[in-house]
Amino acid sequence: MKLETKVQVAKTSLSILVYVVVLFLLGVVVLVVCAGLQINPFRETTTSFLLALFTGLIGVAAILVLLNVATNISLIADARIAQLQVEPRPGILKKWVVMFACAATALVGLVCVGTYLSKERYLQVVGQQVNEVVRDNRPSFEEMAHLLVSGKPADFKRIAEIHNYLATRRPDLSQLTVIYSGKISDKVVLYKDTGSYYYDPAVERDPKTYYTCTPKMDCDYLTRFFSGENVAILRKYTIRDDRFYFYVPVTTSDSRFVLLFERWNSYGKIGS
């Protein structure tokens, strides 16, 4: 191989290696942001593609390193360093640092914007599903409220049946919990019904299960509602587990309770 060809191969492989390393580092920035915040703004197909691309860049970088090392060793053996007269252009390193910083900032912004758009999209989707369930099942709410007031073990079997019926009105609505209140020593306590109550007349047990509210999320809301205040639907989103909560207050002539709809968002909005 001629000296000129070796020099061209060395320069080309080094240039491509720099671009590959930059892309790899940008991918690391995205992975660190997603892993650190425990978010994923990409959909399933896009996620698989990005992981495959990230793995491929590692392989390409390894091949380019070997090629560049081999050609440079050959150049050192064939010619003196002084005769090559290779001098880096002034300011090139600063330029690369600035370009990398700008690209990394753009990618971080893309991840954050994608996460926000994903959250808003799923809030709208889940909100529409919740509204359909609430709008079309008012008679079931009236019956459930009447049964909750009676508090008899046999009635909780019917409550569980109504609960499961409501949960299946929208198959893609993942989880429904009914939150209602009671009193112990004149203090308001919260109970929940998850639709899994099993009634056995031969076994006497308390059918009520306590509900533990979460401070700064639903405790204040539930306290105000069960104290008699009129409250609107409460929408909450937790970024850590990408989970959506819809608290729907229901007031009937007999009592009041809250329908808690929950849903997880597995993938985001960006990509296919």
State residue 222's pLDDT score: 92
| The pLDDT of residue 221 | 92
User: Taking Cα atoms as reference points, which of 160, 187, 113, 155 lies closest to residue 254?
Assistant: 155
Torsion of CA 222, 147, 141, 191, to 10 degrees: 20
Give dist(CA 145, CA 129) in Å, integer.
Answer: 22
pLDDT number for residue 81: 45
**How far is 27 from 259, CA to CA, in rounded Å?**
42
Q: In the prediction, which pLDDT does 65 show? A: 78
CA–CA dist 38, 31 (Å, integer): 10
Name the packing angle between helices 138-150 and 153-167 (round to 10°): 160
Angle at CA of residue 164, ends 147 and 265, nearest 5°:
130
Q: Is the pTM of this model over 0.85?
A: no
d(CA 249, CA 97): 54
Residue 26 has a CB neighbour count (10 Å cut-off) of 17
pLDDT score for 220 = 92
C-alpha 91/C-alpha 99 separation (Å) is 12
The domain segmentation of the chain, as residue ranges, is 3-127, 138-264
Q: Which residues in the chain land under pLDDT 50?
A: 81-82, 84
Shortest CA distance to 244 belongs to which of 234, 252, 253, 236?
A: 236
Residue-level pLDDT at 102: 92
Q: Give the per-residue pLDDT at 245.
A: 87
